[in-house]
Structure 1
Amino acid sequence: MAYFVESFWGERNNGFDVLYHNMKHGHLSTKDLADFIRERATIEETYSRSMTKLAKSASNYTQLGTFAPVWDVFKTSTEKLASCHLDLVRRLQELIKEVHKYGDEQIKAYKKTKEDVSGTLEAVQNIQSITQALQKSKENYNTKCVEQDRLKKEGATQREIDKAAVKTKKATDTYKLYVEKYAVFKADFEVKMTETAQKFQDIEETHLLRMKEIIESLSNTIKEIHIQIGEVHEEFINNMTNTTVESLIQKFAESKGTGKERPGPIEFEECNTSSVVEGIKPRKRKPFGLSGIMKKEKDTESVECPDADSVNFPDVDDEGYSIKPEATQDTKENHFYSSSDSDSEDDEPRRFHVEIKPVQPNNSSQYTMPSLDELKVSIGNITLSPAISAQMNQNSSSEELTKSKLSAPSNEKGNSDLLAWDPLFSSSLESSSSVSLASSSSSARPTTPLSVGTIVPPPRPASRPKLTTGKLSGINEIPRPFSPPLTSNSSPPPAAPLARAESISSISSSASLSAANTPTVGVSRGPSPVSLGNQDTLPVAVALTESVNAYFKGADPTKCIVKITGDMTISFPSGIIKVFTSNPSPAVLCFRVKNTSKLEQILPNAQLVYSDQSQSDSSTKDFWMNMQAITVYLKKLSEQNPSASYYNVDVLKYQVSSNGIQSTPLNLATYWKCDASTTDVRVDYKYNPESMNVPGMLSNVQVVVPVDGGVINMQSLPPAKWNADQMKAYWKISSISEKSENGGSGSLRAKFELSGGPSKPATLAVQFISEGSTLSGVDVELVGTGYRLSLLKKRFATGRYMADC
């Protein structure tokens, strides 16, 4: 029905103005609806995050007793509820986009309508103006008629009456003219106003239908989510129904049961006087240690005890002491050096062999040295716990351990040598590598080797930040999956147990190139892996390692291409594996990555790490570990390399946004002058503290410049080394910082005399490393209880850092 056509006329003809403004108000209502839905989405997002935190906290509740499995039901249900509300947030955000899109369409439609009704607006203005003019002419006409009648009645002169008649006639003609014009304008106004009113009504009907569709979509979305929430509640009810008291009791009995064999009967045995002389069998003694951690000795009675036929009475000397019979070498080895890993607390301990020897002179060298060897062997065979005994081979002497420790770094030289990663650096300069495992104290701790093993680690995410097309497109980073697998035959020898107060922790991460293979050393206050218990606050260490790749072209800063990537590695002590495996629901390890505003992309290890996708704060990201997956993974690592004290796990990778040359810690510019007989090279460098979150020192700076053309002599300042086989010049700078000369700026100059010139300008390469800071400013903290951060190691180093003229 045409409501607008019938209802917006009136004496003042203001219906058009009312309808036009009503159309504009439609856009305001659309905007208000979008704001309303956005507020609802914010409420749902907050609720979803709260439910997610509640689900995490369910894992931190006590896992002791028969009620422990119920927390898993709560956790699963709460996570599903959080997921439902998060899905509602996503769908509401999509609906908001639709509302905004409709609002844009409204604006375009209003502009078009304004042009279409411009004729109606003109007709309205005409009818309003002609109505006013008509009213005035009518009043003037009435005034003149009354004036003429008054003069006639008062007997005025004929001249005055004639003048009044002329004025009356003029007013009459004007009045009639306006009446005629009003009739014309009125007809045009009615036609145009009718069409416009119907147009406005059509627009409003379309607007209201669209708004109603949006609201219907909103209500259906909420209804569907509530149905899902109802299903989650129904599933929770069913799970609690299925979780009977009997099943809880059964699970507890199966997981915590101590055995089904009852004590057997013991019969009275008469004393056998013939075996009294042999002595009473030693009482069983349990080694001191924490429950569930100490490893018990295995029953070796079948190996140690002689056959019944070979049992002899011991020889007795003149004073009544039993004389120890001589034992063969095999017997000594079987008795003294035997070890086992039995978990039974009731097994027989190994027998002690005691021999009293006569006192010998203290100055006897033959006596002193064997005593030292015996002490070393004895110390090497002391077993503190499974974690320590797994690190030591009890059949090896301390000299063998020392020799194997020293040989391990040389075997891994290919992994630790920074020069070996770049084709510009030669393997012949191994002795010049300033950072190697052999010179680092972290070599005392076995690190995770990068060799291929039988255990397949969780794969890295499929996507990876892409490098800007250009010179760096040829940079091939060393492929590195999350947490490289292990092989027991390639693992380095074990280290001595770590002290409880301060333990040396080395977190070496294989990011890209030199940043991946330089060991790091830090002091941790965390407990030794042998002393962890289920109720302890478990220590973990974190390493943030970043790699900066850069390509400089001449002295033009606009042509500099930069790529910065980073890795986060968590190091778990080996003792934590027993805590995880003995606890069916260990506390969830949650951590927060802060200062992420400079990160373009974060790629968590999808199989080991969960992330909170609902976070709106761009400066922080929350993550938590999949405890079941990490327990299985660490257990496999332990089986492959039982001698390791710590196991490193890659949890996430990230790419840092770069701002060209301003993001490089060391700016470079190269200049070449090539003649037939000589070549002059100059390398200008400048320390850039603004690229770092906390300005730090660049250590072990090395610059390599290849020069062809048959170099027969080199003059350089500062002095450089020339390698004729590789045709490369090497500069070494111990450190560069703000405290260096000229604020860290300087030049490297060299003049080469050639026999087959001229030379061709080549690409030079630079390496350096910085400890204690990162380029991105990223920081990490642990969230929740159950764990503590014993060490946070930050560093960055060069990947492919090159410069052309």
Structure 2
Amino acid sequence: MTGALFRANFWSSDILSTAGYDCIIQHLNNGRKNCKEFEDFLKERASIEEKYGKDLLNLSRKKPCGQSEINTLKRALEVFKQQIDSVAQCHIQLAQTLREEARKMEEFREKQKLQRKKTELLMDTAHKQKSLQFKKTMDAKKSYEQKCRDKDEAEQAVHRSANLVNVKQQEKLFVKLATAKTAVEDSDKTYMMQINTLDKVREDWQSEHIKACEIFEAQECERINFFRNALWLHLNQLSQQCVTSDDMYEEVRKSLEACSIEKDIAYFVSHRKTGQTPPAPIMYENFYCPQKNTAPQGKAPGPNLARRGPLPVPKTLPGRTKKDLLKCLCRVLSLSF
């Protein structure tokens, strides 16, 4: 496991390089982004569950569904509507639960962000100090090397002037050489001091880098564990929703098992019956011969409802002749037809 630790695998041979540190930071940023994406997923799923629950609730409460049914099937439909209502409430409750889980993920993400910020500030300071000290050291080295070259040139000039008769020029060259030697000694001391300082800064940076790697590795382990558990819990919540819904649907199935076709038919007959005697057959009636009416073949004759008889012949009235009476009868008969 030691070979897989952050602190053992994110170095660089270049003292100014931050490639290893940058790689870790990029990975942590990606992890934080992944947490945010899952958080947004939970919020979106919560909105979907809430909308579904509310739509299902409106459907259950406002949409008629077999409202004119009777007896056992009516009771089964009532249980069906009640359980659909309960399923809708469960989806609305699940939406609230998912929003709570999204809030927990957000809090965890922000907590890790604050913890990382402290470490990142320390590392930024260490990187700046290391870069600044390295620059000072390299400047001191250049100065030292230049002083050494100046001293070498002064020595060569002294050697070249050894055969010259001009003593004054030789004295100037010796003074220049002595000055160059002093400058080399001073620059050498400065260079050594900067090297020592750089080494101390490097050790401090290295110590901070190891601490940062340990902190970041611990955070990454915590993040993966939290993310994995959050996803596991989310799936458990969805499974529980399915189990709860199935339990509610099972209640509907039980009520349907108790539904009796025979009882519902008997209940309908008992409460809605209109009579047990069918209507009598309609008999044929001859308009002119009511006494000869007969029932249809194969059926019993009904009551003989005779029409009224023919018009009676009026008696002879005083003052009228038989001829007058016949005319009057013809007019009556013509009017009747």
Q: Match for 2:102 among 89, 96, 105?
A: 96
1:122 CA displacement = 4.2
Query: What aligned pairs does 1:50-199 form with structure 2 within 5 A after superposition?
Result: 50-59=55-64, 63=68, 69=74, 71-72=77-78, 74-102=80-108, 105-106=111-112, 109=115, 114=118, 122-143=125-146, 145=148, 159=173, 162=177, 168-199=184-215
Distance 1:148 1:190, change over 3 A: same
Which of structures 1 and 2 has the larger relative contact order (alpha carbons within 8 angstroms, sep 6+)?
2
1:43 CA displacement = 0.6
Q: Match for 1:215 among 203, 212, 231?
A: 231
Q: Deviation per CA, 1:412-464: give whole Å up to 9, x if none.
A: xxxxxxxxxxxxxxxxxxxxxxxxxxxxxxxxxxxxxxxxxxxxxxxxxxxxx
**Separation in 1, partners of 2:255, 2:149:** 100
Q: Match for 2:267 among 228, 236, 254?
A: 254
Letter in 1 for 2:50: E
1:204 CA displacement = 3.1
**Separation in 1, partners of 2:268, 2:99:** 46
Q: Deviation per CA, 1:456-476: give whole Å up to 9, x if none.
A: xxxxxxxxxxxxxxxxxxxxx
Query: What aligned pairs does 1:600-679 form with structure 2 within 5 A after superposition?
Result: none
Distance 1:144 1:58, change over 3 A: same
SS in 2 for 1:59: coil
1:7 CA displacement = 3.0
Q: Match for 1:230 among 243, 246, 250?
A: 246
**Separation in 1, partners of 2:51, 2:94:** 12
Letter in 1 for 2:93: D
**Separation in 1, partners of 2:69, 2:248:** 26
SS in 2 for 1:201: helix
Letter in 2 for 1:86: I
Distance 1:36 1:52, change over 3 A: same
Matched, 1:35 2:51: no
**Separation in 2, partners of 1:31, 1:68:** 50
- The structure in which a higher percent of residues are strand is 1
- The structure in which a higher percent of residues are helix is 2
Q: Deviation per CA, 1:545-590: give whole Å up to 9, x if none.
A: xxxxxxxxxxxxxxxxxxxxxxxxxxxxxxxxxxxxxxxxxxxxxx
Distance 1:104 1:252, change over 3 A: farther
TM-score, L = length of structure 1: 0.27
Distance 1:108 1:174, change over 3 A: closer
Q: Deviation per CA, 1:300-340: give whole Å up to 9, x if none.
A: xxxxxxxxxxxxxxxxxxxxxxxxxxxxxxxxxxxxxxxxx
Q: Which structure 1 segments of 5+ residues have no match?
A: 267-805
Q: Match for 2:222 among 191, 206, 228?
A: 206
Letter in 2 for 1:225: Q
1:48 CA displacement = 0.7
Distance 1:138 1:233, change over 3 A: farther
**Separation in 1, partners of 2:264, 2:116:** 69
Q: Deviation per CA, 1:156-197: give whole Å up to 9, x if none.
A: 767398366565555444333222222222233323332332
Q: Indicate if the aligned counterparts of 2:79 and 2:255 stay in contact, CA closer than 8 A.
A: yes
Q: Indicate if the aligned counterparts of 1:127 and 1:185 stay in contact, CA closer than 8 A.
A: yes
Q: Indicate if the aligned counterparts of 1:66 and 1:248 stay in contact, CA closer than 8 A.
A: no
Rg larger for: 2
Q: Percent identity?
A: 19
Aligned length: 260
Distance 1:235 1:147, change over 3 A: farther
Q: Indicate if the aligned counterparts of 1:123 and 1:188 stay in contact, CA closer than 8 A.
A: yes
1:133 CA displacement = 2.2
Letter in 2 for 1:209: N
Distance 1:219 1:262, change over 3 A: same
**Separation in 2, partners of 1:139, 1:201:** 40
Matched, 1:48 2:53: yes
TM-score, L = length of structure 2: 0.58
**Separation in 2, partners of 1:166, 1:254:** 124
1:198 CA displacement = 1.4
Distance 1:142 1:230, change over 3 A: farther
Q: Indicate if the aligned counterparts of 1:55 and 1:78 stay in contact, CA closer than 8 A.
A: yes
**Separation in 2, partners of 1:117, 1:34:** 25
1:145 CA displacement = 4.7
Distance 1:129 1:95, change over 3 A: same
1:66 CA displacement = 11
Q: Deviation per CA, 1:187-236: give whole Å up to 9, x if none.
A: 33323332332123223323333333333322221221122223344555
Letter in 1 for 2:236: N
